Structure formats: structure tokens, C-alpha cells
Structure 1
Amino acid sequence: MILDALGIEDYGIYNVVGGFVSMFSVLSGTLTAASQRFIAFELGKEKPQINKVFSTAITIHLILAICILILLESIGLWFLNNKMNITPERLYAANWVFQCSVITFFVSLICIPYNAAIIAYEKISAFAFISIFEVVCKLLAAYSLYIITFDSLIIYAIFMLIISLILRAIYSWYCNKYIKDCCCNFTFDNQIFKEMIGFSGWNFIGSTAGILNNQGINLLINLFFGVTVNAARGIANQVDGAINTFVQNFMIALNPQITKSYAARDFIYVNKMIILGTKFAFFLFWILCLPVYINIDFLLSIWLKEVPQYAALFVKYSIIYTLCQNLSQCLYTTMLATGCIKKYQIIVGTLSLMSFPMTYLFFKIGLPSEYGYISIIIFSFLSLIARIFLLQEIVLQFSWHTFLKKALVPIIYTIIPTTTIIYYIHIFNKNISFESFLGESLTSILFCSITIYYCGLTKIERKYISNFIHNKIVKTKK
């Protein structure tokens, strides 16, 4: 609906301008990880001092938000109006998008400790209800673009700002009401401040890599190929994000368990969570992404009235990249839980950073836009290998051999048969229709689930899932 109402050019402008503002979140991303880690770690102690950690985090984020606001309204505004590849007649609307994105970013940054507290306290049901509310609001905003006759790009940017402000207010209200330890009194603990800044300083490398690999490459695409290709990348991010939502929600529930267990020095449970989390994160994404990957051309044709060039190709590469990243999710969380991230960020962060200059080199020598994805896939795989061996040095009872045997090998055992069977079913299904796509997708989900159950899980894991399903059925009948 948004692509249809805005058009390819305006949709591309919204993605690249909003993404440019997000680049400045490299500064906040480091403190976001620090807030989540320190609050969860404090909860794992025998005598936690949550309010000190929370209040210090709020103070730090407020100072940082003011600094970033100054940078955005000076350097950022100049770059938008003088360097970005946007047609002059749409520059006015692009400035509206920029200002709305800046305000949204400012408010979001201040509220990050509230979100971190909700995650650390595992109030997962709150995210479910707020997410439903968010989706309904965004659907209404998209629908309103067909009704309001004013500039659709400006209206959409304003609506996204209003929705973001409402959501941030809800998160803050929920945290103040239901998590009594997390009320801000603007106290400042010097020791906690030093620890958080030190942690964030080294984590800055990894956050920079993440931003450059996403929004940085998006800017390179804009400079070399224009907003039309940005629109295709925006579509790819939408599809990939929709599928990956299931995995991210799973990780939101799992991350505090890993951090608290490490704080309690329960290394057996930490290692168990690494293995289980890696497999389940990958399997969740695999079940959903396989039918999408194989049928992406048909899906885009029925989803969009006008499919941007390269959209289907970008979706496929984006899915491959996310599959690689999902293998590293639990490893990354455990590394943050240890707090020993200096060596980790020097090695893994540097590897991740290399994809941005590699992409620039690819584009400079005339290679096509999909090489932006190829570069981050290559370095994502290399970073996974580095994470495995670095974690072995820090976490007791964790070894690369055990991780390979209990996590990666079962994943490979599920990928090979499911990909082969579903691919051949797709080839023989020559006349693609919605009914055939639905049948193929259901077959894929069923076959993947069976294969994962028997080839990807251990006997203990299968027994646990069987008991869980049985208990749910019995409870439903009652």
C-alpha cells in the first residue's frame, strides 16, 4: 500500500533519508547493548542495584541524544541538501522526512533504557500487545495515504513520527507502572558510568559495522545507482524483516536468560542456551524463509502493483545474509554477557567493517548493486568463525567442536534434504497460481518441520517438544 501510494521514487527517498538518520544510531547502538546487558546482569546478582544502573543509563542517553541532535541538524542537514542523489523537486519533502526522522530518533534514544528494562525483566507479553497496536496504527497510516490529498511522502513521515511518539510513551508508562525499580531520578553513579562507557567504547566498533553494513551500503547504492534501487532494497528489508520478526521475538525472550545465567556463573546452562538458541533461531527462520525464497517472484507480483527492479534478487540475498546472522545471535549475546569484548570487537568488529569498503570497491569498478549483499554475506560468515573461537577462550565448557557437532551439523542435516525436495517440487510446478503456491508452502513448512524434528533435534529436545504440545492440547480441552 505504501509503495503504491508513494510511488517508487518517493518510497526510495523515504528509505534512504530515514536510513541516513539511522546511521547516527551507531553512537546509541553501543549504549543500547550496554543498557540491556548491565540491567540483565544486575538482575543475575544476589543483591541487585537496578535503580542505580537504570538512572545512570537514562542520564547517559539524554546527554548522547542532545549531542546527536546537534550533529544531525548541522552535518546531517548539509549532507542531505548537498550530497544525496535526490531530484530538486522532491528535496522539500525529503527535508520533512529528515526532520520527522530526527525527532523520532531523539525520543527513541531517550527511551532505550525503558525498553532494556522490559526485556531484562522478561515482560514479553507487553511486547506482544504493543506490537499488535503498532501494526494496526501503521496499517491505518498506510490506508490514509489514499484519502489525504496532500503530499503523501510528507504525510507518511508525519504519521510515522506520531506513531513512534505514542509507542515510546506506552513503553515508558508500562515500565514506570509495572517495574518499580526502574523509575528515573537522574542519579549518577560514577563507577557504573565508567563501566558502561568502557563497555560501549569497545562495542562501538561492532555497532559501526552494523550501521555501515545496512544504512551505509544503502547510501552507497543511492550515490551509485539512485533512489529506484533504494526502493528495491527497501522492499527486500521489508520482506526479510517480516520473516525475521519471529526470530527476533524468540531472541528477546532468550537473551536475558543467557545474561542472567552468566552473571550467576551457571556455565552449563549458558552453553545449553547457546546450542538450543542457535538451532531454534535458525530453524524458525528456515521454516518461513524457504517457501518465500523459492517463490519470491510470484509473491512480489501479487503483493506489489509495481515491482521495483532488483527487488526479487535483493530479497534472496537478504535472506541468505540473515541466515548467516542468525547463527551468530546467541554467540554475540554471550560475548556481551561476559563483558570481555575488547579482543572480540577488535577482531570481529574489524572483519564486519571490511564489508563497507569492499562494497565501495565493488561499485567503483563497475560491479552491479547486488554486490553490496555479497560483500556482507562473505564477512558475516568470516565473523561467525571468529566468534566461535573467541568465545571458546572466555566461556567455560564451550568449545568449537561441541558447537559444530551439536548446533551446526544438525542444521546442515536439515538444510540439504529440505532444500532439495522443495526445489524439485517447485520446478515441476510449472503453472504458478495462488493455490499452487499455498500448497507448495504448506508442503514446505510440513516437510521442514518433520525434518527438523527428526534430524535437527536430539531425543531430549524431541521429548520436551512432544510434552509441551501434549500439555497445550490437554489445557485447551479443559
Structure 2
Amino acid sequence: MQAANKVALNTGILYGRMLFTMAISLYATRLVLNALGSTDYGIFNLVAGVIAMLSFLNAAMTTSTQRFLSYYQGKMDREMQRKVFANSLLLHIAIGLFLVLVLELCGLFLFDGFLNIPLNRIAEAKTIYHFMSATVFFTVVAVPFNGSLIAHENMLWIAIVNILETLLKLAIAIALLHITKDKLTMYGLLTAGVSVVSFLLYAFYCFKKYDECNISGLTRVDRPLLKELTSFAGWNLFGSLCGVGRSQGLAILLNIFLGTIANAAYGIANQVASQLSFFSATMLRALNPQIMKSEGQGDRDRMLRLSLIASKFGFFLLAVFAIPCIFEMPVILKLWLKNVPESTVVFCRLILVGTLISQMTIGLQSAIQATGNIKGYQVVIGSLILLNLPVSYILLYMRLPAYTVLVSFCVIEFLACAARLYFLKAKAGMQVGQYFDRVIFKIALPTAINIGVCMLTGRMHADAWRVLITVAVSFAAFLPAIYFAGLNDDEKEMIQRLKNSLLSKLPGNKSSFRLKNSNP
């Protein structure tokens, strides 16, 4: 029960952070798009989009450190936690330097007629690329600190740093309206500076707060542990790079065949998906330490049960917002952005569909990470994800509509879900029937009800009021459907216990008063 309370508290903290940062980020995007224009905004998403994609890379690499720290927390082994942090920090310094070298070498060829960028903006695009390359190092070296915070389930400091990042980005967006120098270059420089500030805040806090976070162990390398960390982080890095490669590869293909306006549409669609995915990612971040600790304690049944809960709730938390947005996307984009680039509506809808498909097995990814045996999994899933690039090239070469690229994205996400099921059955003994009983069959009816409600409200006249009505009616129908048709009895009991626990802590609660006064 204490673990469930901690998960609930951390989830609440992260949701509060998420709602604040999402609202500010969406407004900041509108300011940046208006300040830069579609062409420069498309260039930034093409060249420096890796900065945004590094959030996924950072999350995947953080899992490596957090997995080992949480695993040894489950075993109550403090000395191994110290060794894990020191060796992880050394490893990520090396990875950061390696990635900077690779990016700079690639930069020698990208701008020599490969990317479709207006000639008068080539110099600015190169400058942004160098900013991105330099900040990659700080982003990667911050990974062990972030992993330590998550392993300790300290979501409060993570939320504080994220809120500060968002406020800085809003300040940058407002400053663009008054900057007289080249806006694109200044935007790249200031955005890069935010990553450095975040790294310093994470490092300062962890060095001061946690005993295992120190640099004295950097001179005492534990070769077997470093080898294990390197293998695990390496395969995680491979998997995350496949995801980044797909995203940036699709951006490059769209740029080559269709130009920078398509990049602007694709960049906006990715931002919509990433903002809405925060809801499920937040819940998974709160659950991940418990999944890893359960495996460290030898309680695989609990680990698998938590991974299924994460998959189901991850889907619900995205669907509750994504499904109404899919139906109301034209109006939402018109209200959000004054000038909506061509194809943005269909791009946003399809990326959200693909993300919903991925969410159905999001918890299974954490379960496979907890087992520690990820090599085969990362090779197969990474290869499937990268298959999107040759398929998309063929589709665009055949002059099919641009949206077919994202249709293939959805199909490949479905194949990746099937592959995750296979690997968890093979590596951890999970029964496929159990997954269907606790996840697929439970999400089917609530999702159908939500879609039906959105289709009915969609017959009204399209305006801002219809968006509000669709969202309100969707919530009113979807949330009860989730509780009565989407939850198992044990999950309902857990929610009831959490509710009672939270109510008992409210000021003025009589039962809470009696309990306090009954203590000796």
C-alpha cells in the first residue's frame, strides 16, 4: 500500500507539471511559428529537430541507469548502487563525446546538396547544427543523474526542472518577437542553452542529496559492471537511435520529395503527439521504478502485473485526449496556429493513431528492460521501426500522397506490438491470453464508446464551441466506461484504497483526527 501511495503521489506531481508545461509549450510553439515563419520553422525542425528527439533518446538511456539502480535498491545493496552510478557516469561521458564526433562528421556531408534548404539559409542551418551537436554532450551526461532521481522516485525535483525549462522556452519565444538579429540563429542558440541549465540543476541536486552520486568512483572502474552497463546501455541506445533515425529519416525524406513546408507540418504533428503522450509517459515514469524493483526482489508476477497495468492505463491516458483531438483536429489547429501548413491535419491524426497503437504495449517495454535481457528485443524492434524508411521512400517515389508515409508508420507500430508480446512471453513467461484479458479486451468497449460519442458531436457545426462540447461529452462517457468496463476488480479495489487513503489525510477529516489521537 505504501508503494501504491508513492506511485499515486508521484503521478500527481508529474501530472501537475505536465498540464502546466503542455499549456505553455503549445502557446510558445504558436509564438515561434509566427516569429520564424513556416520556412524557417521547417528548417529548425529538420536540422535541429534532433534536440527534441533527444528527449526520447535521453529517456531510453535513463532507463539503463535507472534499471540497475532500482534493481539494486530492490536488493538493498547500497555499495552496488554507488558502483552503478560512478560507472554509468563514466560511460555516458564517453557516449556523449562519441555522439558529438559522429554528428560533426555527418554535418560535413548533410549540407552539401543533400538537404533541401534554401541557399540563403544554409549558413544559419549549419550554425544551428553546431549548437545541437554541443548540447548533445550535456544531454547525455545528464542521464545518470536523471536515472538516480527516478530510481529514488523523486519526481518533485524533475517536475521543478521541467517547469523551469518550459518557462525559459516561453521567454525565448517572447524574445524572438523583439530580436532584430537573425531569429533562426538566436532561437537555436537560446534553445541549446536551456539544455545546459537543466544538466547543471540535475547534477547539483544529485551530488548534494544522494550518497551514491559522487565522482570519486570514476577512478575505480569495475570492469565486469562497466561491461554489463555498456552492453545494456548500448542496446538501449541502438533501440532509441532507431526511433530517432525513423523520425529524422522521415523528415529528410519528406524534405527531399516535398520541401520544407512538409517538414513544418510533420514537426507540428510530432509536437502534438509528444505533448499528448506526456499523459501516459508520466504514469509510466512513476511506475517504472516499481517494475524494476519487483524484478530485483525476485517477484516476477508483480513485475508482469504492473507492466500490464502500465500498458492499459498508458493507452487510456492517451486515448482520453487523443480520440477527441483526432476528430476535432481541423478546428484545434485553426485555433492554435493562425497559419496551418498544408497536410498538418492528416499528419496529426495519423501520428496520434500510431502512438495509440504503440501505447497498447508500452508497459511491456519496461518489463523486458527489467529482465535485463534486451539484445534480441532491441535488434528486432529497432529493425522493424527502421523498415519505415525504405517503405516510405518507395511510397513517395511512386508519387503517392504524403500521408501514406504515416499510414505505413501505423502498420509498422502494430507489427512492433506483436513482436513485444512474443519477446515478453519468451523472456519472462507472460501468457499472451493474460495480456488480451487484462489489456485488449478491457480497452475495446471504452474506446468504442469514446469514438461513437465523438462521431455524434462531429455532426454539429464546426467551431470552438463544438470542440469544447466534444471534449466534455467524451470525458463524461469515457471515464465511467473505463471504470466499469476497463478495470479489473483488483484495480478497482486499489483505486478505492488510494481514494480512502487520500481522503483520510485531508484537513478536518474526522477519521484522520481519530487515528492521530489514538496513537500513544
Task: Give the alignment's TM-score, normalised by structure 2.
Answer: 0.87
Deviation at residue 209 of structure 1 after TM alignment? 2.3
Distance 2:83 2:111 in 1: 39
Residue of structure 2 equivalent to 1:265? 298
Distance 2:439 2:237 in 1: 29
Residue of structure 2 equivalent to 1:424? 456
Q: Aligned to 2:444, which of 412, 433, 448?
A: 412
1:291 equivalent to 2:324? Answer yes
Distance 1:136 1:201 in 2: 33
Q: Aligned to 1:440, which of 470, 487, 506?
A: 470
Distance 1:243 1:202 in 2: 27
Cα RMSD (Å) of the superposition?
Answer: 2.1
After TM superposition, what 4+ stretches of structure 1 lie above 6 angstroms from structure 2? 21-30
SS, match of residue 212 in structure 2: coil
Deviation at residue 70 of structure 1 after TM alignment? 2.1
Deviation at residue 289 of structure 1 after TM alignment? 1.1
| CA spacing shift, 1:423–1:359, aligned 2, 3 Å | same
Q: Aligned to 2:168, which of 132, 137, 148?
A: 137
1:165 equivalent to 2:196? Answer yes
Distance 1:87 1:384 in 2: 40
Distance 1:458 1:68 in 2: 45
Q: Aligned to 1:399, which of 412, 431, 437?
A: 431
Question: Any conservation in 1 of the 2:58–2:139 contact (CA below 8 Å)?
Answer: no
SS, match of residue 320 in structure 1: helix
Question: Any conservation in 2 of the 1:26–1:208 contact (CA below 8 Å)?
Answer: no
Question: Any conservation in 1 of the 2:46–2:251 contact (CA below 8 Å)?
Answer: yes
Q: Aligned to 1:461, which of 471, 486, 491?
A: 491
Deviation at residue 39 of structure 1 after TM alignment? 2.2
Cα deviation, 1:398-456, whole Å, max 9, x if unaligned, reads 210001011111011211122112211222x12x3323321221111121111111110
Residue of structure 1 equivalent to 2:359? 326
SS, match of residue 295 in structure 1: helix
Cα deviation, 1:167-194, whole Å, max 9, x if unaligned, reads 1111111111212211122132101111
SS, match of residue 215 in structure 2: coil
Question: Any conservation in 2 of the 1:35–1:113 contact (CA below 8 Å)?
Answer: yes
Residue of structure 2 equivalent to 1:245? 278
Residue of structure 2 equivalent to 1:156? 187
1:96 equivalent to 2:127? Answer yes
The amino acid that maps onto 2:258 is F
1:27-426 correspondence to structure 2 within 5 Å: 31-48=61-78, 49-185=80-216, 186-187=218-219, 188-396=221-429, 398-426=430-458
Residue of structure 2 equivalent to 1:6? 36
Deviation at residue 282 of structure 1 after TM alignment? 0.7
Consecutive unaligned residues of structure 1, counting only runs of 5 or more, are none
The amino acid that maps onto 1:424 is L
Deviation at residue 26 of structure 1 after TM alignment? 10
Distance 1:177 1:131 in 2: 19
Residues 129-138 or 455-464, more deviating: 455-464
Deviation at residue 37 of structure 1 after TM alignment? 2.1
Deviation at residue 462 of structure 1 after TM alignment? 2.3
Residues 219-228 or 12-21, more deviating: 12-21
Distance 2:464 2:500 in 1: 33
| CA spacing shift, 1:348–1:238, aligned 2, 3 Å | closer
Cα deviation, 1:349-401, whole Å, max 9, x if unaligned, reads 332222222112212222222222222211111111111122112224x2100
The amino acid that maps onto 2:179 is I
SS, match of residue 111 in structure 2: helix
Deviation at residue 265 of structure 1 after TM alignment? 1.0
Deviation at residue 200 of structure 1 after TM alignment? 3.6
Residues 262-271 or 63-72, more deviating: 63-72
Distance 2:473 2:445 in 1: 18
SS, match of residue 367 in structure 1: coil
Identity %: 29
Consecutive unaligned residues of structure 2, counting only runs of 5 or more, are 1-30, 509-520
Question: Any conservation in 1 of the 2:62–2:147 contact (CA below 8 Å)?
Answer: yes
Deviation at residue 263 of structure 1 after TM alignment? 1.5
The amino acid that maps onto 2:42 is G
Question: Any conservation in 2 of the 1:213–1:355 contact (CA below 8 Å)?
Answer: yes
Residues 40-49 or 250-259, more deviating: 40-49
Question: Any conservation in 1 of the 2:309–2:363 contact (CA below 8 Å)?
Answer: no
The amino acid that maps onto 2:443 is I
Distance 2:59 2:470 in 1: 40
Deviation at residue 115 of structure 1 after TM alignment? 0.9
SS, match of residue 209 in structure 1: helix
| CA spacing shift, 1:452–1:198, aligned 2, 3 Å | same
Question: Any conservation in 1 of the 2:360–2:439 contact (CA below 8 Å)?
Answer: no
Task: Give the alignment's TM-score, normalised by structure 1.
Answer: 0.94
| CA spacing shift, 1:204–1:172, aligned 2, 3 Å | closer
| CA spacing shift, 1:295–1:4, aligned 2, 3 Å | same
The amino acid that maps onto 2:478 is C
Question: Any conservation in 2 of the 1:45–1:263 contact (CA below 8 Å)?
Answer: yes
SS, match of residue 451 in structure 1: helix
Cα deviation, 1:288-341, whole Å, max 9, x if unaligned, reads 112211111001111111100111111101101111111121111111111112
Question: Any conservation in 2 of the 1:237–1:315 contact (CA below 8 Å)?
Answer: yes
Distance 1:107 1:437 in 2: 41
